[in-house]
Amino acid sequence: MEINWLWDTRLNENRVKRILKNENDPRFYIYAEKLFSRVNNPKIAFGYVPKEVFYHKWPIIKQRIEKDQWAKQKSDFWQGVYEKVTSVPPERISIAQQIKNIRIERGYTQEEMAQKLGVIQQFVSKLEAGTENVTIDTLKKVAEVFGKKLVIQLN
C-alpha cells in the first residue's frame, strides 16, 4: 500500500510534479524535502524529481531533511542512493542532459527518439539518465537524429 506523501498540502499531485520538475521554482525545496523524507522508493521519487536534479540538489535537500530527527532514517537511505548516482561520471551526466534538452526542444518523446535510433525506449531513458555508457558511434547516430554534428573536444 502506497502512502500519500502529500497528505498535508493543498496542492494536487500534478501541481507538485510541475514544481519538482523545475528546480528553480521557489517551492522546489519545500516539496523535495517532503518527497525524500516520506518516500523510500527511487522509482516513485525519480518520477517527480529527475535523477540529474537529485544529483545536484541532494546536499541541500539532505540538510533540510536532517533538521527533522524523525526523517534521519530516510536521509540515510537517500544518501546511499545519492552515492550510487554520483558514481556516474559528471561528463556522462552533462552529455545526458544535453541529449535530453535537445530531444525536448525538438518535441520528441523518448519513444519517438528510440524509433529513430532503432532502439527501445528504455535505452533512451538510460542514455538521458547518464547510466548508459555509449560509444562514439551511438553519439554520432544521436546527433544525426537531431540534425546536429558530433564535436568532441579534449581540454
Tens-digit pLDDT profile for residues 44-85: 999 999 988 898 899 999 999 999 888 888 888 999 888 876
pLDDT band at 149; cut points 50, 70, 90 = very high
CA 37 to chain centre: 17
On the CB side of 137, CA atoms within 13 Å amount to 0
Q: Does 106 map to a domain? A: yes
pLDDT at residue 131 tops 90: no
Q: Does 114 map to a domain? A: yes
pLDDT at residue 152 tops 60: yes
pLDDT band at 19; cut points 50, 70, 90 = very high
Do 78 and 96 reside in the same domain of the chain? Answer: no
Query: What mean pLDDT is predicted for residues 81-90?
Result: 77
Q: Which of 34, 54, 85 delimits the end of a domain? A: 85
Rounded CA separation 153/66 (Å):
41
Residue 107's domain comprises 90-145
Do 102 and 70 reside in the same domain of the chain? Answer: no
First to last CA, the chain: 51
Query: What mean pLDDT is predicted for residues 109-125?
Result: 93
Q: Which residues contact 53 (CB under 8 A, 6 or more apart)?
A: 23
Query: What mean pLDDT is predicted for residues 16-30?
Result: 94
Say how many domains are in the chain.
Answer: 2
Q: Which is it for the CA torsion 140, 143, 149, 153, positive or negative?
A: negative
Q: Does 8 map to a domain? A: no
Q: Does 151 map to a domain? A: no
Do 81 and 23 reside in the same domain of the chain? Answer: yes
Q: Which of 85, 116, 135 delimits the end of a domain? A: 85
Cβ contact 37:71 at 8 Å: yes
The pLDDT of residue 133: 86
The pLDDT of residue 1: 46
The pLDDT of residue 44: 93
Rounded CA separation 6/143 (Å):
40
Helix, strand, coil percent values for the chain (each to nearest 5): 65, 0, 35
Q: Does 74 map to a domain? A: yes
